Amino acid sequence: MWHDRGRRSALFRDRFTADLFLVTANFLMSLPGHAFRRFVFQRLARNAIGDGSVIERGCRLSSRGGIKIGNDCVINAGTLLDGRGGLEIGDRVNISPEVLLLTDEHDPDSPTFNDRPRPVEIGSRVWIGSRAIVLPGTIIGEGAVVGAGSVARGIVESDAIHVGVPARPIRSRAREAQSVLPTYRRFFH
């Protein structure tokens, strides 16, 4: 009995430490200064971010590590970056406000409601509209658009615009679209 209490105590400490880290990191990610947030994202949260990429205030993390962002990306305010299952974002990606990028879910058939992490891959030149949801295991092809409020799952075709729940392609997109994103500079933002 005493041995079990020690194990429960260690589990509590581990969960408490993880929760404290997330609260602290997410608070720091809400403060002004792109360079400061990059520092928190890379050094404190142990993620990777490419040159010229910015993370707006109010983006939230759900884990330490597991996220890789390419070059010249813009991650807008209120976006949830879930690295528990692995999240990889290509170059020149624009993620609009309040997007949920999910890499972990519960297994509905598990007797103990276990989690089921699956990586998400987002290709280069992708645009994800406001309040879209990207579910675990999704692969978004290069140059794709996921419309505002859409739910992306499975494989999202390259160079096509996808909308709806679940997101379905409605038309193609020019291959040269979003080949250059303007430099994003807003002091104290």
Which CATH number is 78's domain given?
A: 2.160.10.10
Residue numbers of the domain that contains 25 = 2-172
Q: What is the pLDDT of residues 89-115, one digit of tens each?
A: 999 999 999 999 999 999 999 899 899
Q: Give all strands (DSSP E) within 9-138, no chain letters.
A: 48-49, 54-55, 60-61, 67-69, 74-75, 80-81, 87-89, 94-95, 100-101, 104-106, 115-117, 120-122, 127-128, 133-134
Q: What is the pLDDT of residues 136-161, one digit of tens each?
A: 999 999 999 999 999 999 999 999 99
In a domain, 186, yes or no: no
pLDDT tens, N- to C-terminus, the chain (189 residues) = 445 555 555 655 678 888 899 999 999 999 999 899 999 999 999 999 999 999 999 999 999 999 999 999 999 999 999 999 999 999 999 999 999 999 999 999 989 989 999 999 999 999 999 999 999 999 999 999 999 999 999 999 999 999 999 999 999 998 888 887 777 666 566
What's the angle, vertex CA 127, arms to CA 121 and CA 131, rounded to 5? 90
Write the single-letter amino acid at 166: P
In a domain, 140, yes or no: yes
**SS3 label, residue 15:** helix
Q: Under a CB-based contact definition with an 8 Å cutoff, are residues 117 and 85 in contact?
A: yes
In a domain, 135, yes or no: yes
In a domain, 21, yes or no: yes
In a domain, 185, yes or no: no
Domain count, the chain: 1
- At 17 the pLDDT is 85
In a domain, 183, yes or no: no
In a domain, 84, yes or no: yes
Q: Under a CB-based contact definition with an 8 Å cutoff, are residues 146 and 128 in contact?
A: yes
